[in-house]
Amino acid sequence: MDFSSLIGCVSSASCMVTQSLSGLTIGMLLFLVASGLSLIFGVLKITNFAHGSFYMLGAYFALTVYQVTNNYFLAVCGAALGVGLFGVLFERFLIRRIYGSNVLMQLLLSYAVILILDDIVMLVWGSEFQSMGMPDLFRVPPIRFAGAYIPVFYLFLIVAAFAIAGGLWFLIEKTRFGKVVRAAAHNGEMAAALGINTSLLYSFTLGLGGVLAGLAGGLAAPVRSLVPGMGMSILIESFIVTVIGGMGSIVGAFVSAIVIGLTRSFGGIVMPEFTDGLMFLVMVIVLIVKPTGLFSKGRD
Amino acid sequence: MGKTGKRSIHRRAFVKGIGGVAMVAAVAGFPAIVRARNTGPIRIGVSAIMSGRVAQMGSSSTNGAIMRVDAFNTSGGLNGRMIELIIRDSKGRPDEAARINRDFINRDDCDMILSLEASTGAFAVQEVVRELGTLCMHCLSETSSLTADPKLRTPNAFRSGRQGAHDAISAGSYAASIAKEKSLKKWMTVGPNYAYGHDTTEQFLNYLNHFSPDIELGSQLWPKIFQPDYTDVINKILQEKPDAVFTCLWGGDLSSFIEQGNLYGLFDQAQYFCIALADYTTMAAVKHLPSGIHSGNRYVSTFPGSATNAAWEAEYVRQFNSRPTNWSWEAALGMQFLIEGIRKTGSSDGNEIAGVLPGMIVNSPFGVDGTITMRAEDQTIVEYGTGWGVTQSTEPFMPNVTPTDWKLIYELEAAWKKEQGYI
């Protein structure tokens, strides 16, 4: 454990800026995936283990749109819409059949979808890894601030993720649709009895989860290698985020994603070989203190 | 009692009957089987990783083997006997690799094995072929002990792939020469956190210290394999400001590291030595490959710079519409050795072929002087092209490679083997 490096970093403006920015970058991508996961669980009471594959699909959709149009913003939008549509189809044809089933059935179905999607990606895009490359707009030297290097693309990524988080919060908390979603999350049967079309709502919720995962995949594509199976690692981290924040809580996902991001970036200085362990440690501590997660409204 | 006796007689009669049938079958059928093996196709079992994150290892290596087999079959085979490849997916699991290879031998009646497994799978296959005595060519495992350690070696198993020990000597001597030339004192290392990463880094540092004892070693970073984000690694490098960084990251991990490092201008701030960059599938996949990165050659058509090597790459691209990898040439070479053995003995008998492989020299586009030798003493290849060069951002990505002198490799390899107790 290298605490002297951590103390050195905390007392250095450049290191603090660099590490904080890194933490936010990691956290914001995690938030986009975890918020979809949390939303789906909150409304449908389904743990979508295939959500990492949604992120993978988003990255590949973005790659294809970018190769065709050479426009990164279209690529991200294409990824979001493509995965959103896939989410709707996923709910209509698969998830709908296991509502009320136990977790084992959810796991089996999701895992089958993970394997099928990995193979489809391999058939369509090939087994070798692919790289989108940095769009020309962001191929500029990093900004120097307080002695730190700040990549322009990461600034964009953080701002975009904050904007999406704000939009999502507004949608859920301040609109009529958000009220319906919250009502269905609280008691789906009662919501249906009051005339809410829960069938449509469930499809829309999975579609929205897909949009968020697709956005994450599209935003990550310029800096991460695209390879079949790439969704698995982000899925595990996203689960940690949702567990810490509280299953079903968007605000919880946002806060805990930032906590996990900062844990990774600063923890990497103290224990570079134990950063994954640190994330789980944070999760264990939260589960001991508040078993339902930091922002869950459920009883502990 | 009587019933029991009656039943006993029936059982004896049954056993006698079965024995008689078996004898008749043996006398009448055995020559038929022998005839079948001398006249039917030559079956070669190929176990490879065809799925999962390193499926490219299986697809590009089987392509290399298929090219050789197609050429053999088109030329008429062995007196009309064609080679039939039976390719199965081991999924990168050693237990599955062992099971598949047992099936090749016991059920599919394969004459020999072409193992396109990574090291963990190759060691499992080695135990199967040691037990069953079938001829095996390991093509992709780069772990030196597989053939260097006499306890692991078996007379019926050979290796047609490069070796970690050779690459480490090559890397250490090249890096030390650049370190002296550019006064690179402070080094860092970045390696994937599993056996390959640790072994390769340790061996590199051994030889770097051997050739340039005055270097200072800073942090050694071990990101997990398939880690998507390298920001923590990049930040640590930016903090320490080393003169040089050695990395044995490979494939998609290396690509991510480079793409993310580019955002910070990382590659302008130190000299980078990437042992596994110079493979087209990595160099061409990285959209903005920085110039000036030092790399060991994996497969580039510019080294060895012969017309045959360029022609081989062109033919591969024509057939498979993708570029060959390091694994492609290793598998193509392994298949070539087996075919040469078949031709030389005029047989598909593994024992006979194993007898002619030690010391065999074949003409090869991948040989540093146009030939590659299957060294008799440890049944592994030598004199293949190994060296280092510097990247440029456009094709051909690595125009010049400085070859490593094989005399130097032999000398230091012998010292290493002595140190390990292998000789």
Instruction: Select the residue from A6, A53, A223, A226 to test the B interface by mutation, using most B Cβ atoms within 10 A.
Output: A223
Let me know the angle formed at the C-alpha of A227 by A224 and A232, rounded to the nearest 5 degrees. Answer: 85
- Average per-residue pLDDT in chain A? 91
A214 assigned to some structural domain = yes
Contact B373, B361 (CB under 8 A): yes
Which of A222, A228, A268 minimises the CB distance to B232? A268
Distance in Å, alpha carbon of A229 to nearest chain B alpha carbon = 6
For residue A12, pLDDT beyond 70? yes
A298 assigned to some structural domain = no
Q: What's the pTM?
A: 0.84
Outline where chain A has alpha helix (H): 3-10, 13-44, 51-69, 72-93, 103-125, 152-174, 176-186, 188-193, 198-220, 231-245, 250-270, 275-289
Percent of chain B whose pLDDT exceeds 90? 80
Distance between CA atoms of residues B143 and B159, nearest Å: 10
Distance between CA atoms of residues B108 and B120, nearest Å: 24
- The per-residue pLDDT for range B169-195, each reduced to its tens digit, is 999 999 999 999 999 999 999 999 888
Count CB neighbours of B310 within 10 A: 15
Number of structural domains in chain B = 1
In the chain, the amino acid numbered A257 is A
CA distances from A245 to A163, A254, A257, A296, B163 (A): 20, 8, 8, 7, 48
B70 assigned to some structural domain = no
A252 assigned to some structural domain = no
B236 assigned to some structural domain = yes
Distance in Å, alpha carbon of B331 to nearest chain A alpha carbon = 17
Q: What is the pLDDT of residue B36?
A: 46
Number of structural domains in chain A = 1
Q: Which two tokens stand for residue A35?
A: 């918020």
CA distances from A249 to A37, A254, B68, B144 (A): 10, 9, 58, 52
- In degrees and rounded to multiples of 5, residue B83 shows phi and psi of -90, 135
A300 assigned to some structural domain = no
Instruction: Select the residue from B201, B227, B229, B288 to test the A interface by mutation, using most A Cβ atoms within 10 A.
Output: B229
A293 assigned to some structural domain = no
Instruction: Test B259 with A151 for CB contact under 8 angstroms.
Output: no
In the chain, the amino acid numbered B360 is M
B336 assigned to some structural domain = no
Contact B226, B169 (CB under 8 A): no
Mean pLDDT of B271-300: 93
Which of B56, B263, B285 minimises the CB distance to A127? B56
B286 touches chain A (CB under 8 A): yes
B295 assigned to some structural domain = yes
Percent of chain A whose pLDDT exceeds 70? 98
Mean pLDDT of B390-404: 95
Q: What is the pLDDT of residue A11?
A: 86
For residue A247, pLDDT beyond 80? yes
B217 touches chain A (CB under 8 A): no
B68 assigned to some structural domain = no
Phi/psi region, residue B153 (left: phi>0; alpha: psi -120 to 50; beta: rest), is beta
Nearest to B214 by CA among B245, B167, B179, B173: B179
A292 assigned to some structural domain = no
Mean pLDDT of A129-154: 91
- In degrees and rounded to multiples of 5, residue B160 shows phi and psi of -115, 15
B393 touches chain A (CB under 8 A): no
- The per-residue pLDDT for range B6-46, each reduced to its tens digit, is 444 455 555 555 555 555 544 444 444 444 467 799 999 99
User: How would you label A83-96 residue by residue, b for 16+ Cβ within 10 Å and e otherwise?
Assistant: bbebbbebbeeebe
Q: What is the ipTM of this complex?
A: 0.83
| Chain center to CA of A211 | 10
Mean pLDDT of A189-218: 93
Q: Where are the beta strands (DSSP E) in B50-195?
A: 83-89, 112-116, 135-138, 157-159, 186-190
Q: What is the pLDDT of residue A42?
A: 87
Distance between CA atoms of residues A278 and A286, nearest Å: 12
- Assign A90 a pLDDT band (cuts: 50, 70, 90): very high
State the CATH number of the domain containing residue B398: 3.40.50.2300
**Choice between A45 and B52, residue whose per-residue pLDDT is larger:** A45
Mean pLDDT of A260-278: 85
B322 touches chain A (CB under 8 A): yes
- The per-residue pLDDT for range B63-118, each reduced to its tens digit, is 999 999 999 999 999 999 999 999 999 988 999 999 999 999 999 999 999 999 99
Task: Spell out which residues of chain B touch residue A131, defining contact as CB-CB under 8 Å.
Answer: 255, 259, 285-287
Mean pLDDT of B309-314: 97
B261 assigned to some structural domain = yes
Burial class from Cβ neighbours inside 10 Å (0-12, 13-18, 19+) for residue B238 reads buried
B272 assigned to some structural domain = yes
Instruction: Test B259 with A224 for CB contact under 8 angstroms.
Output: yes
Mean pLDDT of B372-389: 97
B290 touches chain A (CB under 8 A): no
A171 assigned to some structural domain = yes
The parent domain of residue B188 ranges over: 165-306+387-420
B148 assigned to some structural domain = no
The parent domain of residue A176 ranges over: 3-229
Q: What is the pLDDT of residue B9?
A: 46
